[in-house]
Amino acid sequence: MEFLLDPSIWAGLFTLIVLEIVLGIDNLVFIAILADKLPPKQRDKARLIGLSLALVMRLGLLSLISWMVTLTRPLFSIGEFSFSGRDLILLVGGLFLLFKATMELHERLENREMNDGGNKGYASFWAVVVQIVILDAVFSLDAVITAVGMVNNLAIMMTAVVIAMGVMLLASKPLTNFVNAHPTVVVLCLSFLLMIGLSLVAEGFGFHIPKGYLYTAIGFSILIELFNQIARHNFMRHQERRPMRERTAEAIQRLMGGCRQSEVLNSKSSEVAAIMPQETFKDEERYMINGVLTLASRSVRSIMTPRGEISWVDATHPLDGIRIQLLDTPHSLFPVCRGELDEIIGIVRAKELLVALDHGIDVATLASNTPPIIVPETLDPLNLLGVLRRAKGSFVVVTNEFGVVQGLITPLDVLEAIAGEFPDEDETPDIIADGDGWLVKGGTDLHSLQQLLDTQELVKPEDDHASLAGLLIDQKGQLPKAGEVIEMLPLCFQIIEATDYRIDLVRVTKERQKDEEE
């Protein structure tokens, strides 16, 4: 027991334990990569068998120290190179490690982990165990030679090996889970194995590469990967703060090609877009899917028919005037009001109004039987769908906080927000192609215009306007006059028609990118 009181014994034991753990990390990483090829239920068993075999091999080799010494004696020579038993083992192990790491790296880079059926193909359990045994033999030889060179006491050597293997056994599962959960770490580990395999081949030919060089390169690479993982973690944490609906919508839009080209080139989906057929989605399909995905982010004001375009019936007008109005307007539903639009009595179908007029029924009395459904302009568009269902084919009236009517919404308005405009007989389209540009009405919805122009600069969450006219007034700071030009690169807006209180018509042109011109 006196040798336990010798400080040099404890210093040698501690140093040897650290070195054994360091020398065993590469073995542990390779076992983790090989174990990932097995079904989940067999991975722990493979790790246990692999590390247990490594422990047995190292203890067995330590018990044969006299034989280990003979491994360094030259057996034969070829030209200037002489080879010992140790050199042959290192050479064969290094070549096997180079071959295996190259095949694994090629498989990862080519993304061949999935078979034709879409399920991951698992390797045979014993095939993986055999590969682990071969690598254990190579790494065990290196570790045992290090132990023999550092300490002369066999008990200290075996104690250090047992403790180091115990630590590695405890760390094997967390390390395996971490490696398998981070694809870039797997590629980095395989690169380490390539470097280690090359150093083993060089050792086999008698060229000694200082271990410090290898460990410095590995440490520096791990530091860079640590920065990469921190940046990725912060990016994911930032993304998690955003609503799931918004993130999903953006991801689908990128896959459909619904975002700007520069964004596609800077995103990971560019790799998918390069592989997928370019004509997977038609323009109409892209428009409708974008409309559905962005519906939740829109405001009720961007969907409704604005106040100035509402056709309504004044119950105080003469009956003949009401009849002429109904016959001249193609709408099937009318809000019936008393003197002004804000005094809505009810919603009546044109056919019922005509019948009531023919039978001399009071228009106000008829309208009072179907009172309007009123919603605030702050209502969420998704909740609006439920209100429209309860309206049973009618429309809902949108008011502000003071009860002033701002517009109305029909099921057709929601459909137009998703699939594009459906003009009535008495309407002209809001957007008309005009040579290299477009003629756009001032009241055109910004979401529809943004989708048509394939840009993301028109609609911003913090803005309070929903129409093109509102955007231009906000940019100018005042109501622009006819002939004025407002630039929002790459878009140019020229005011064609405007009055003292509104913008009627705008010509929009889009500046072509240099790469498009080429």
Q: For the residues 66-80, what does the mean pLDDT come to? A: 70
- Identify the weakest region by mean pLDDT among 133-142, 352-361, 406-415, 502-511: 133-142
Over range 112-132, report the average pLDDT.
63
Better-scored residue on pLDDT, 115 or 17 = 17
Instruction: Say if residue 423 is preceded by a cis peptide, omega within 30 of 0.
Output: no
Q: Is 462 helix (H, G, I), strand (E, B) or coil?
A: coil
Model pTM? 0.48
For range 266-273, the mean pLDDT: 45
- 146 or 240, which is more confident: 240
Query: DSSP readout, 288-331?
Result: HHHHHHHGGGS-HHHHSEEGGG---EETTS-HHHHHHHHHH---
User: What are 330-386's pLDDT values in tens digits?
Assistant: 888 999 999 999 999 999 999 999 999 888 888 999 999 999 999 998 888 888 888
Least confident of 110-124, 207-221, 328-342, 441-455: 110-124
300-411 and 431-517 in the same fold: no
Is the pLDDT at 28 greater than 90, yes or no? no
Kindly state the average pLDDT of the residues 215-225. Answer: 81
Can you read off the two tokens belonging to residue 150? Answer: 């550092």
Q: How far apart are CA 449 and CA 455, in angstroms?
A: 9
**Hey, where are the domains in the chain?**
2-209, 245-297, 300-411, 431-517
CB atoms within 10 A of CB 75: 13
Q: Sign of torsion, CA 424 426 432 435?
A: positive
In sequence order, which ranges of 63-182 are alpha helices (DSSP H)?
65-70, 85-110, 125-150, 154-181
Chain-wide mean pLDDT for the chain?
77
The region of weakest confidence among 19-28, 79-88, 213-222 is 19-28
Query: What pLDDT does residue 265 have?
Result: 38
Q: How far is CA 280 from CA 195, 254, 257, 272, 273, in A?
A: 43, 13, 10, 12, 10
- Tally Cβ neighbours within 10 Å of residue 4: 8
Those residues whose C-beta lies under 8 Å from the C-beta of residue 180, and which sit 6 or more positions away, are 32, 36, 186
Residue 87 has pLDDT above 50, yes or no: yes
pLDDT value at 117 more than 60:
no
Residue 60 has pLDDT above 90, yes or no: no
Q: Counting beta carbons within 10 angstroms of the beta carbon of residue 245, is it exposed (0 to 12), middle (13 to 18) or buried (19 or more)?
A: middle
The predicted pLDDT at position 102 comes to 84
Residue 511's nearest CA partner among 495, 476, 487 is 487
Q: What is the pLDDT of residue 253?
A: 64
Rounded distance between C-alpha atoms, residue 202 and residue 163, angstroms = 30
Q: What local confidence, expressed as pLDDT, does residue 213 receive?
A: 78
CATH architecture of 431-517: 2-Layer Sandwich (3.30)
Chain centroid, CA 196 distance in Å: 35
The topology under which CATH files domain 300-411 is: CBS-domain (3.10.580)
